[in-house]
Structure 1
Amino acid sequence: MDLRAAPDDSTEAGAPRPSHGLPRLRRGAGFIAALLCVAVLLVVAAGEWAAQSERDAQWDNLRRSGEVQALALRGVATRYNYLPFTTAQHPLVSQLLRHPASQEVRDAANAYLQAVNEHAGSDMLYVMDLEGLTLASSNWDTPSSFVHQNYRNRPYFHDALDGDTGRFYGVGKTTGEPGLFVSAPVRDNGRVIGVVAVKVRMEPIANPWEQLRDPVFVTDARGIVFLGSEPGWLYRTSRPVPAADVQQLQHNEQYGTGWTPRPVPWTLRQQDDQRDDQPGAELRLDGNGKRYLAFEEALPDLGWTLTVTADSRVVAVARQQAWALATLASGLLVLGALYWQLRERRLAENRQARIGLEQRVQERTHALQQAQAFRQSMEDSLLVGMRARDLEGRIVYVNAAMCDMVGYRADELIGQLPPYPYWHPDDLDRHWNDSDTVLAGNAFPQGRENRLRHRDGSDVYTMFYTTRLIDGGGQHIGWMSSVVNITAQKRAEEQQQQRETQLQRVQRVITVGEMASTLAHELNQPLAALVNYAAAARALAAQGKTGPLNDSLEALSAQALRAADIVGRIRRWVRQHPESREPCDLSAIVEQSLELLLRAEARRQGIAVRVEPAGAPLQVHADRVLLEQVVINLGLNALQAMQTHQPPPEGHELRLRLAADNGHALVQVLDRGPGLPPGIAERLFEPFFTTRSDGLGLGLNICRSIIESMGGQLQAHNREGGGAVFEIRLPLTNAPDNP
């Protein structure tokens, strides 16, 4: 390409003109390259943001689903706990165990157990002697009767013989059908003479799970799946089972006579990008590689673990959709730079295409929300108190828990239209508004807190969860509400908050007393300097030396400001204030605590202070003033511990160490005092426990409460070489996701 032009009158013949095309091309190529880099970064960032948002939404849904399913599972598992105990109190059961050979007594006992079982709605109810032999059963007249069957190898039988209540889930030896067995001892003058057991079928819980799209299952304490929506996973192990436990299970015949351990066809592991506020894992099926988000809800009172899952493909779909949108936007940016002359026409076309794509995304999102709302409605109805209303608001059903909650019988509530008798007279406007909103089709999917009035006049605080009531033909016929009594929780929260506020105020007042001597020591220096500078200024004024006089006055003013700053810092620290969380630099908080009190107190006692900073800034989300109070309290305790203790070879020293550890920020307060004796170390954080004659025993307890309210931990242990270490551990706000 010839970059020269023909000479004119003002240019010598044959002399080339300067070329500007090549630098312009280079600038254009650099601009396009920068645009491409920005576009790639935008696409990647948009995909990760969309995936994380969808993952957070899935975890929230799983957490709510796990709580509802766990509540329903616990309700079915504990529904018949009373039945064996009450049956064991009947005189006919004791008479049967004392006279097992009497056919008349056997017939009477069989008839009694059959009647009780039918009335209670349980599966089987039976009585065993001390050898585990069934003497009478509610199914005595069926081909699969438990009578004359021996269950002495079952753990629930031995638990009852020991005088305890037994609970055992397993496959029935006689019927081959699984169920939950609950047992109780039969006593005669304090001596156990037999066992009463009830069998409860868990199908009312497990059968609806089979209709769900994603797997739901329950494992026992050994990790064996015994209940769930996938029949092929039943009685298979999710982790290795010790040989002794395998022998025990085979002896008990818990999962059938021919049971042998077989692993489940999936693996469960923590995700690489899992966060602390998402306590779940990833479940990956063997063979097809399908993945699920898995949330585990522990049921410690039953010894079980409930696991609910959600297909993780929605996260990948969200990421791909975000990539598509971001790629489209980035393409528009690059094309606009390349074809600037066609900017208006191209932007209009692409804007229309983007609107159509967003509409399709919104339609699909709306369809997913509708399906999720239907499933959530079923889950929300499985709570303690149940109330059904027709489309006009008339009550058509209430269960016993709802009647107990408000003090009215079912026949007094059924047929009632608003206002209901249990509405609180002080909240009638709120009740009417909530009722009208629900009947208009605007139920509260997250629940609604309401205050009710019990028949005896007491207040009852509840949470209402309302969903549509659908008949077998799919028609909307009314509204179903689940009601949870939260009265005790509300009162406990209010009392705990008041108690913590009072304790914190008491500790701050105590700390102010301890500050008095140090404050006086700090103010002595500026006050003494003020007196000296004032005397010097008086002498210089008398001599007429204006230059030195001005210097003395400036020094006098500086010392006055220093004294005012000391008093102001103490007043700001002592003043009671509401808790305020904000991002804080932990190093600045430690330095402020040293300047406020600790360094002056250590100087007064002749103890060296050493700070070991971290390699990088430590950002935490905390209440700055309360955190300063904790550091000061721990530092004062360390200085007091070293006052009367003989110094070690390396001498007394107060050391404050800052570090980062596995996503947490650490502040360690180390001293060379006498250390923590074993008897004291175990009770160190108990309220009102103190080793000081003038102490109240509230300081360390309040310090731990403050740190735990910020999501952290406060621990103490002995220091190697003598002394003690108090460690504050708080989550880092700038920490990467834990692997």
Structure 2
Amino acid sequence: MDSMPTAPSSTALIVAAPTRWWRKWWRGLSPTRQDRFAALAPLAAVLMFLAAIVAAFWYLRAEEAEREQEALRRDVEYAQQRVRLRLLERQEQLMRIARDISNQELERAEFVNRAEALISQYPELQAITWIDERRKIRASHAAPTLSSQQLRVAGELLKPGETADTYGLARDLQQPVYAQPAAAKGDASPLLQLQVPLNNQGKFAGVVLGEYSIDSLLRYGTPTEVLARYAVTLMDARNQVLAGTPLPPRNPATQLLPWTPKANEYEVPVSPVGNGLVLRAQAYRTSLGVVGSGLFWLVGTLSAMTAWMLIATWRHTRRRMQAQQALVAETNFRRAMENSILTGMRALDMEGRITYVNAALCQMTGWSEAELVGLKPPYPYWPKEDHESLHAKLRDELSGRSVTGGFQVRVQRKNGTLFDARLYVSPLIDAHGQQTGWMTSMTDITEPNRVRQQLTAAHERFTIVLESLDASVSVAPLGSEELLFANKLYRQWFGSQTAGHLQLVAQAGVLPVASNSGVDDEDGLMGLPTDPLTSARSENAEIYLPDLGKWLEVRSRYLNWVDGRLAQMVIATDITPRRLAEEQAERQAERAQSVSRLITMGEMASSVAHELNQPLTAINNYCSGMVSRIQSGQITEEALLSALQKTAHQAQRAGQIIQRIRAFVKKSEPNRTLADVHSMVSEAVELADIELRRHNVRLTHYIAARLPPVMADTILIEQVLVNLMKNGAESIQQAQRPPSGRSVELRVVPKQTEEGEVVEFSVQDTGKGLAPEVLERLFEAFFSTKQEGMGMGLNLCRSIVESHQGRMQAQNIYNGTEVVGCRFSFWLPLAKLADDTTNSVANEQTPRTIA
């Protein structure tokens, strides 16, 4: 009997529908995507399994941590109750003491005894102090463990600021007040204070201060079973540990791991102290829990290994696909690169046939790839007139005799224009190491050739300019005898060697030397300044070369040569005509000085004649008197000898006056020697004194003691002094000063200036001074305030002083707003003695007045 077909159940229909959808979706994927999903599906399953294991562990670990936290909370609250009861017991005992004191039932001795008993019985109590309403300590007793800085002495006042706020709060509230004072430096442990107010018939009578050791309170107030299971600490409101030792913080890196438990801790404030004292407990980690389970690690390790193997398989498949894609991309990239470079590429086989050209070569020549590939020489881009030379180069190229640096050729474009190109040839080797031809690269060098020609022309112009200079120019590197550059004039003077350059550098004194300012300013390896020499200013010097018979002005500068070396450039200019002109000007100045002295003596002629008249008249009188007395026979031998001696003295005096005047006006070459300042000034004073007496002017001079000698021409300096003193006398004469106000003062003193130690000469008169417009032009040549003056005196004086490396100046002297005279001054530098043993001239001169 045939059975009837059964209808499909509803469950089968529910399962069949997603299956059909899954098959349809899977068949619609590409093979690549199917491979990817096939590799990732097992990996996803393993990762989901591992995630389930981790979630289960996490749930168990969280439940275990919650139980530990609940146990910790109960233990901490139990410990807090024990500490609270202990504080309330001590508070009650202190309140009984305060009540007895308020009822006047307790004296100081009894207070100390009861305090001692409490402190010895309860180790957390450290001190008990009785303080009256004036904050004066009536009595106090402390434990032996209390530091000396925390002891309180009876009779002393409570220190300012110490427990001041708590004392006032206890007085206002009339209730016990807890406080924690700031620990002083060096305290062994922090304290907790309890202030119980004293009430005497409704009035505040002070406080009983009890001080607890917070460490002892934790040690004896906390149950031992709690201390054994947890790290218990007491903290203040700022979370600073007051007693106990907290657990060190765990590594922050391990806290980020999901299976690492967090620190199990709980804290609660301790009443009746309040938030100022917090009890905190931290649980010790006694076991690893589920983390130490071998089953968990075994499952995790197997899951990780399975995931690693699946990932490795997937990565291997992916690398093969990537390698295939990279090969296609590399081929496309090389083709794009060959078509985008500006260098033309050409491949030849062993017979010279073109097998490959890139787009750049086609663009250069104008010929397409189809027109060039397969051709043999001559190629269409060869100019007809260069066929023979290009055939020879191609034969060298095919035979392997090509030039390493390439060679330059001319190339003809399809439109007939020519351009310059450089060809580089290299063998073409295939993948098996066999040479299949030659690869040639072509670069258009038309523009570089044009730039090179312009640079060559610019260099030629630069060389022509340097060769035509009327100065010698040479460049040489430092520390070497190589001559980098020399122009035509240098070669005419010194040849083509470095000797002339080194001679100029050495004789001009422009050698590079190390800085003396300090070690930090110089390079210890090179001995040169650390500052760049190329930024230094050029140095000038004037030298004379006997071999050339020329005076040269030498200028030097440091520069960086084209190869990076530090070099020195020396420019030498012929200044012989200028030096000859300067020497001629010096000779003219010397003649002007002689003429000025003659003019000065001409003006002083009458005074000189009057000065000579006195000794000549005395000689005549002595001779006439002796003749008369000899004729009459009335003279003795002693009287005759005395008269002859006086006659000889007067004759000697007249001769000295004539010799001094003759030496003053005598023309001679400047002769600078070590000059005695005292002798030089004395000679000038005697010469000028004649003129000053003629004008009825009094001369006063002062020379400082022990003046060192100066390097000077004595006659020229005497001329300056005589001229200045004579001008002062003439200024006084023009001002018509009374006899008491007609004086000229000469002072010679040492002075310190920026240039060093000098000797200053100053001539001060009592004339009418100089007008402002005269001061501006005082030292100009041919400028004079005298109607008969030539305007050469002061100009020559300043020239003489400056030739001695000195300075001259003039200034008016004021008495309020009135000009009462003028002062001329100049200074000369001290002589630079080579021998330090030379004794300085010591002349002491006191001020004297010459009428």
Please report the TM-score for the alignment, with normalisation by the length of structure 1: 0.38
Structure whose alpha-carbon radius of gyration is higher: 2
Q: Which has the higher contact order (CA 8 A, sep 6+)?
A: 1
> TM-score of the superposition, structure 2-length normalised?
0.33
